[in-house]
Amino acid sequence: MFKQRGLLIVLSGPSGVGKGTVRKELFASPDTNYEYSISMTTRQPREGEADGVDYFFRPREVFEALIEEGKLLEHAEYVGNYYGTPLDYVNETLDSGRDVFLEIEVVGAAQVREKMPDGLFIFLAPPSLSHLEQRLVGRGTEVLEVIASRVAKARDELEMMDLYDYVVENDEVTKACDRINAIVTAEHCRRERVEERYLAMLEGE
């Protein structure tokens, strides 16, 4: 029986944009039917964090051995600690036909794009971008320096978007989640995917 490989969904964006909050809200919904890939880190658990729930907490030597063996889909070091995505879990889940959801930093997302270019890359954008639009097209009440600094920041954020397929504005967490779910639904309806599935079926795979 033919099993279509699942979709790899990568949510990223500038730090502080609210990726974690959006991810928690997505997985709090019973309608969300993709699997969350838990990251691995060498940092200490914080109050209330549990191993295998928030992160896989592992010693530095274990993490470095996994890097050596090529067992991480992406990894990066922040403030002296490693963070990364275990590769086997991702591949096994995709092979079983289920979608996998990663919530990672932009540096990691760039690594994943190189290794899995057919993933679904979603950039969570700060609402400042849409606020900026309102101000720029507004009644000119904003002082020029403020506009200039906002424009400069917006340019940086636009450049970061370049490797993503979709941009979701985090103006409201529930709205951002609805858009992400719409994107996943739409991608499952893409002609190439549907056609591939039916052709394989007709060939009797």
Q: Which residues are at the interface with a copy of itself (CB under 8 A)?
A: 1-2, 122-123, 125, 129, 132-133, 136-137, 151, 154-155, 158, 161-162, 164-168, 178-179, 181-183, 185-187, 189-191, 194-195, 197-199, 201-202, 204
* Angle at which helices 128-136 and 144-160 cross, to 10°: 140
CB of 191 to a copy of itself, least distance (A): 5
Dist CA 113 CA 115 (whole Å):
6
Q: Which residues are annotated as a binding site for ATP?
A: 13-20
Dist CA 128 CA 94 (whole Å):
35
Instruction: Between 83 and 123, name the residue whose CB sits nearer to a copy of itself.
Output: 123
18-36 burial, b at 16+ Cβ within 10 Å, e below that, comes to bbeebbebbeeeeebebbb
Dist CA 183 CA 99 (whole Å):
13
CB of 107 to a copy of itself, least distance (A): 19
Contact 97, 6 (CB under 8 A): yes
- In 3-state terms, what secondary structure has residue 204? coil
CB of 3 to a copy of itself, least distance (A): 10
Instruction: Between 65 and 136, name the residue whose CB sits nearer to a copy of itself.
Output: 136
Instruction: Between 62 and 199, name the residue whose CB sits nearer to a copy of itself.
Output: 199
Instruction: Between 146 and 194, name the residue whose CB sits nearer to a copy of itself.
Output: 194
CB of 61 to a copy of itself, least distance (A): 39
Dist CA 153 CA 142 (whole Å):
16
Instruction: Between 17 and 87, name the residue whose CB sits nearer to a copy of itself.
Output: 17
CB of 92 to a copy of itself, least distance (A): 22
Q: Which residues are annotated as a binding site?
A: 13-20
Contact 82, 59 (CB under 8 A): no
